[in-house]
Structure 1
Amino acid sequence: MIPKVIHYCWFGNGEYSEKMEKCISSWKKYCPDYEIICWNEENYDIHKNKYVEQAYEKKMWAFVSDYFRFDVIYNYGGIYLDTDVELLKPLDKLLDCEMYAGMESKDYVALGLGFGAVKGHPYVKELMGYFEVRDFVRDNGQMDLKTGPMIQTEVLLRHGLKKEDSFQRLEKCIVYPSEVFNPKSFQTGETHITNKTISIHHYDMSWLNERQKRNKEREWELKKKYGSKWGKILGIIQTGPYKLIMKFRSEGIKGGYLYLKTIGKNIFGKK
């Protein structure tokens, strides 16, 4: 049984946004008997390993939380929520298991949407281990910007996860389809709430810089106005050069080449 404790983190000593306040208020509304713990520099050791320390020094808070969420849940048990997750229903029905998580899309699981586990869960320990042997800043000085869902999906695939947007029961984890925790699409910005929806991830995109956030919001606007296909193409034309430069900087020639292939596939439908 997962304990009734909600963990979240707030590093950097910034002020809470109005959206963040609204999200936390929803936790209190739908989980009135849960303990809610805020972790920050005062009660969490940001020098636990090089990955966390370097991400903190770079003020890349989303990447600090990539390790933090597993460390805290492994050692204490409970539920982790990103601060841009708004609850629409109580979480009580999710607790009668060893671990639960949610699909972001048909390709990725995303634990930042909200996940829960008992103390000492082996899958959570495995997720922690990914970061404990890596640096956030590479030898060439570039940051390792591999996102949490990519890492989390790789780990759970080893335990039977299938790349499909469906209810899945792994040996030690229940995985819910995206309509439960992620009714807002990161690709289109559209929200489709169903009777199964428990929460909404509003995508504050804290792992992106301000220009990248504006580019993503512009892409959503184009898709809403011109449809998914043409909106995507127009978005690539407008933001592609900047994204390509960022890929070359963070992932080198190989990363840039793979991104060009992705652009070609998205525009022309070819590999």
Structure 2
Amino acid sequence: MSNLSINTANIKTGEVLPSPQTTTNQLVEGEGQVATSINSVPGATDTNPERKIEEETENEDPLIPPFKASVDERMEWFRRKLPELAILQSNELSEKFHVRVLELFNNKCSAQFFMVWLSTAQSFGPREFLAVDSLFSTTPDGCLLILSRSMDTPKGYRILKPLLDRGFNVQAVTPDMPFLVKNTPAEAWLDDLKNGNMDPGSIPLFNHLSDLIRLAVLYKYGGVYLDTDFVFLKDLSGLRNAIGAQSINQVTKKWTRLNGAVMIFDIHHPVLLEFLKEYATTFNGNRWGHNGPYLVSRVLERLGDNSEYNITIFPPKAFYPVDWIKIAKLFKKPETEADSKWADDTLVDITSESYVVHLWNKRSKELKIEEGSVMARLIAEHCNICENIYDP
């Protein structure tokens, strides 16, 4: 792995550099046995009245700090809110996390995939469903774990049921934060946060917790982590210990920023430990991206050409073929002959050289996918259920 140049990879043929070996569908060793049946269909028959109340009030988000509060005011607010932050604590359901994960991954998975959803189940809409749907269009024998308290409910089960009915291995499981960070550099960080000894920052805390969960779950289990705003074009299960550049210097062709929206790592990979150390020691809740894409860029730049880590850094076209500034054009129906030619050329370019397309949901979530657009044509070839694809 080099922090100065982008390793070459034949994306058109799927050849991986360095040479691919086994896939990352490994389980944690020595941390528990698979139960015969624990919530294999979460929420399908849940009659717990507390769950019902939780669903009805899930729009209330206690993780958004007061606007323009000072550090002292924010910390005082956070200490008052701590009892409401169930995500930071273990409970009867979250303590089943590890066993439920092993139960899912015991289904002869060709690869282990992870997504994190810390928003409401109600906000898991057509765009997020499309990401899951298209994943299984490329890797039908893969297993997807969605780490989410809100989706681990009857409502979440109903959202995922069309995929379950087709036999795909997808499950939402309530994460157990103390378990995920146990025996990692982030364990002390979480203790400080839970004790109210840390400024959570002005940016909603769930953004930072999502950054931490993705690192911790990859370290504990190994596999492929992805955000929920992708369209999958090719099978990722053959890739190993890889991350993608978001941007490069057009003159030197050296990467200028990496992105953690796609990360593929073996279990207990040492660079994940470095990421967790960086998170715990440099946490900043006031700067967007500091604990996410900027973090992975800082760490890999510091590690340099250390061959011990053996990481492949893919060029932007692999995972981020369209810059966030230009993403809107992919949603528009061609209006002129020039537009049509651009759409045809873009479609050929993306389908030949990209594994996935990042939709930059913060930029595109309100955009309608117009019929005949590049996005509509991509989706038509890479979905199983293909419902509501024109809804934002």
- In structure 2, how many angstroms separate the alpha carbons of the residues matched to 1:171 and 1:133? 21
How many angstroms apart in 1 are the aligned matches of 2:121 and 2:201? 14
Q: How much is the aligned-residue C-alpha RMSD, in angstroms?
A: 3.0
**Partner residue of 1:181 out of 314, 319, 326:** 319
Structure 1 stretches of 5 or more lacking a match? 138-142, 162-168, 206-212, 218-271
Give the TM-score normalised by the residue count of structure 2.
0.44
What secondary structure is seen at the aligned counterpart in 1 of 2:217? helix
Give how far 1:43 is off. Answer: 2.3
Shift of 1:6: 0.2
Residues 5 and 78, structure 1, Cα contact 8 Å, conserved in 2: yes
Contact 1:56 / 1:64 at 8 angstroms: preserved in 2? no
**Partners of 2:202 and 2:297 in 1: CA distance:** 27
- The secondary structure found in structure 2 opposite 1:200 is strand
Aligned mates of 1:128, 1:100 — CA distance in 2:
17
Q: Which of 295, 300, 304 is equivalent to 1:160?
A: 304
C-alpha distance in 2, partners of 1:61/1:104?
23
Q: Which amino acid aligns with 1:11?
A: L
Other-structure match for 1:122: 270
For 1:226-245, list aligned pairs within 5 A: none
User: Is 1:19 aligned with 2:127?
Assistant: yes
Q: Is the 8 A contact 1:55 1:61 kept in 2?
A: no
What is the DSSP-based 3-state SS (H/G/I as helix, E as strand, rest coil) of the residue aligned with 1:70?
Answer: helix
Corresponding residue to 1:197 among 349, 354, 360: 354
Equivalent residue in structure 2 for 1:92, among 220, 224, 237: 237
Task: State how 1:73-88 maps to structure 2 within 5 Å.
Answer: 73-88=218-233
Question: CA offsets per residue over residues 107-136 of structure 1, 9 Å max, x none?
Answer: 111121x12101100111101111223454
How far 1:149 sits from its partner (Å)?
A: 1.8
Task: Say which of 293, 314, 321 aligns to 1:149.
Answer: 293
Distance 2:133 2:119 in 1: 21
Q: Note if contact 1:52-1:67 (Cα within 8 Å) is conserved in structure 2.
A: no
One-letter identity of the residue aligned with 1:25: D
1:145 Cα deviation after fit: 2.6
Using the TM superposition, give the Cα deviation of residue 144 of structure 1 relative to its aligned residue in structure 2, in angstroms: 3.5
Residue 158 of structure 1 and its aligned partner are, at CA, apart by 2.2
Q: Whose helix fraction is larger, Structure 1's or Structure 2's?
A: 1
Tell me which residue corresponds to 2:217. 72
| Matched residue count | 193
Report the TM-score when normalising by structure 1. Answer: 0.62
Query: Hey, what does 2:37 align to over in structure 1?
Result: none
**Residues 202/118 of structure 1: CA separation in 2 closer, same or farther (3 Å cut):** same
Shift of 1:172: 1.4
- Say if 1:8 and 1:82, in contact at 8 Å, map to a contact too: yes
CA distance in structure 1 between the aligned counterparts of 2:320 and 2:308, rounded to whole angstroms: 20
The answer to whether the 8 A contact 2:113-2:225 is kept is yes
Q: Which runs of 5+ in 2 are unaligned?
A: 1-21, 26-110, 150-173, 182-186, 249-255, 331-345, 368-392
Which of 21, 35, 58 aligns to 2:143? It is: 35
User: Equivalent residue of 1:91, what SS?
Assistant: coil
**CA distance in structure 2 between the aligned counterparts of 1:35 and 1:57, rounded to whole angstroms:** 35
Is the counterpart of residue 63 in structure 1 residue 208 in structure 2?
yes
The separation in 2 between residues aligned to 1:85 and 1:73, in whole angstroms, is 19
